[in-house]
């Protein structure tokens, strides 16, 4: 099942990041923990033979659960994987300050998860050796993500920094998981399509022609070509509607 593949991917992310941050009072360049990798099973469950506990600094939306250890999916992941998570949930309005304090002090979690780390910081601390380069680890330990990179090379390109390294992993959404699409609906006026003699656009080229025709045609009959062909509540909304057409639906920078 696709959900099992996603589970394996997400839990493997945890293992690969276990030594990505130094817990010393000052930030030192890190090395891969060989003992941790020996505890890792490349295939199947559990992900690790001996149970481990990892500390996650996690951005928390006000509408999510207050205790992730009581969330059913995470409880099941822990049972299947032998990985327990110590959640440090940080509200979104204080996340940037908390994250920056951790980076500045060197008192770091094992994993930054949904912490909205700016790309500039990922590159800065990656080049310093604070974050581990994941390139080889992905190839060796993440067959699902490697396969995705081969099928959609733009995805790999999107998370690779100018120095050639990957310091964070994308969030993967199954296109059949319709719940992720509920936050943004794309509407096209059927009456305008009829006035223009067009069918519902199915490609980006057809959509462009529709938008162009709306812009140049006096559809409301006021004598002025003032129709607005495309809009949203914000620039981010405009991007979210269109990004799936350019494969970006598979990529959300994380952490």
Domains of the chain: 2-172 (3.40.190.10), 190-246 (no CATH)
End-to-end CA distance of the chain: 26
The answer to whether 255 touches 117, Cβ cutoff 8 Å, is yes
As a whole number of angstroms, the distance between CA 69 and CA 209 comes to 50
Mean pLDDT, all residues of the chain: 80
The answer to whether 32 touches 132, Cβ cutoff 8 Å, is yes
Is 245 in a helix, a strand, or coil?
Answer: helix
pLDDT at residue 173, as a whole number: 73
pTM value? 0.61
pLDDT at residue 6, as a whole number: 42
Task: From residue 8, give the alpha-carbon distance in Å to each of 81, 143, 216.
Answer: 9, 10, 50
Q: What is the DSSP code (8-state) at residue 52? A: E
Return the percentage of the chain with pLDDT > 70, whole number: 79
| pLDDT < 70 regions, the chain | 1-33, 175, 177-185, 247-255
pLDDT tens readout for residues 166-185: 999 887 777 676 666 555 66
Query: Could you write out the DSSP letters of every residue in 120-184?
Result: HHHHHHHHTTSSPP-HHHHHHH-HHHHHHHHH-HHHHHHH--TTS---SEE----TT-GGGGTT-
CA atoms within 13 A on the CB side of 129: 7
């Amino acid at each position: 099942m696709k959900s099992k593949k996603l589970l394996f991917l997400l839990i493997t992310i945890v293992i690969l990041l276990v030594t990505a941050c130094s817990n010393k009072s000052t930030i030192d360049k890190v090395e891969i923990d060989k003992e941790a990798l020996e505890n890792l099973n490349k295939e199947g469950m559990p992900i690790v033979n001996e149970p481990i506990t990892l500390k996650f600094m996690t951005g928390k939306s006000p509408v999510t659960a207050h205790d992730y250890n009581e969330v059913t999916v995470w409880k099941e992941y822990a049972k299947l994987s032998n990985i327990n998570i110590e959640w440090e949930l940080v509200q979104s309005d204080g996340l940037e300050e908390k994250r920056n304090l951790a980076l500045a002090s060197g008192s770091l979690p094992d994993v930054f998860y949904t912490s909205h780390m700016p790309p500039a910081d990922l590159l800065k601390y990656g080049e310093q050796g604070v974050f581990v380069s994941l390139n080889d680890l992905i190839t060796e330990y993440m067959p699902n993500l490697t396969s995705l990179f081969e099928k959609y090379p733009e995805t790999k390109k999107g998370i690779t920094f100018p120095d050639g390294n990957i310091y964070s992993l994308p969030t993967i959404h199954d296109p059949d998981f319709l719940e992720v699409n509920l936050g943004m609906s794309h509407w096209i006026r059927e009456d305008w399509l009829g006035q223009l003699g067009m069918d519902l656009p199915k490609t980006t080229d057809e959509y462009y022609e529709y938008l162009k025709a709306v812009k140049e045609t006096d559809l409301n009959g006021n004598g002025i070509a003032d129709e607005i062909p495309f809009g949203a509540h914000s620039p981010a909304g405009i991007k979210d509607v269109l990004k799936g057409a350019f494969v970006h639906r598979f990529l959300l920078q994380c952490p």
